[in-house]
Amino acid sequence: MIKFQTIILLVALFVGINGRQLISNGYSSLEENDIDDFNDFFVPPYKDYPAMARFLVHELDWTPMGTISTLDTIKGFPMVNVISIADSARGERSTGRIFFYLAGPDFTYIDLKKSNRLTALFSMEQSRNCSSSNIDAMEPTCARIMISGKARLLEKTDKSYEFAQNAMLSRHPAAKNWIPVHDFYLCELEISQICVLDYYGGPHYVTNEDYFKADPEKVFGKKFSKTNLQNIDDDEIERHHRRKTKSIHIRVNRDVEEINIEV
């Protein structure tokens, strides 16, 4: 029994010490640690709430959008629908503006005509980023933002109309088939509140000014490389490392006093 406890203690110490070194040394041995492709965009650190909000809005192409239902059977209840969105054309710079189409016969459009209040959810799990790293979608470390506001109908004479339409058709080519068939209205979300939850400790609220002031080059342009790893602080490295969490599985056979560790 003493031998078994000693082995477990040594394993725990080994994992703890080496895990700490992995962060402190800034991933000096890239090949051995086998973390993300360093050409991928870097997920913002959890303390940079405006950057996280801009990141998710730009990276995701759809949102669960909640409204106040006008349906007779659930009048006044919250209702949700999947809405395709875009903040810029595919491959273009982030704008932070949220454009979307609403269909005339759709209950989301009808709800908003009655009470123009909505909330849009953006979660990192929409890209399977969390579950692929063994993080549950409900965990605070699976970043999400909730943006509330009103839908503003864009007229064809609006100076933003062409930009918004190009952004939507670039990200959602199938929309070219929807628009001629049904009554679709191009809209923009006028933001009233931005709520960010991306780590333990509760939600944080981002002002519109800070949200739109977030530098797209800073949010999306920073990439990992062997030359700049030493310039990235521990919070950023920890955030990136959580995307590729490795589990250590320990199997113990008490009869033969054998321990097998799989990484």
Question: What residues does each domain of the chain span?
Answer: 49-225
**Tokens read off for 78:** 């919250």
Provide CATH code, domain 49-225. 2.30.110.10
What is the pTM assigned to this prediction? 0.70
When comparing pLDDT for 183 and 6, which is higher?
183
Q: 229 or 8: whose pLDDT is higher?
A: 8
Euclidean distance between CA atoms 21 and 2, whole angstroms: 29
Cβ atoms of 170 and 24 within 8 Å: the answer is: no
Q: Which of 9-13, 69-73, 94-98, 201-205 has the lowest average pLDDT?
A: 9-13
Place of tokens 């969490």: 245
Residue that is written with structure tokens 């394993």 in the block: 11
53 pLDDT more than 50: yes
Distance (Å, whole) CA 138 – CA 47 = 19
Instruction: Report residue 64 as tokens.
Output: 């669960």
Q: Which residue has the higher pLDDT, 8 or 130?
A: 130
Query: What is the rounded average pLDDT of the residues 187-209?
Result: 97
Question: In 3-state terms, what secondary structure has residue 251?
Answer: strand
Of residues 61 and 257, which shows the higher confidence score? Answer: 61
Write out the H or E segment, with its range, that includes residue 78: strand 78-86
Whether 80 has a pLDDT exceeding 70, the answer reads yes
Q: At what angle do helices 2-24 and 234-242 cross, to 10 degrees?
A: 120
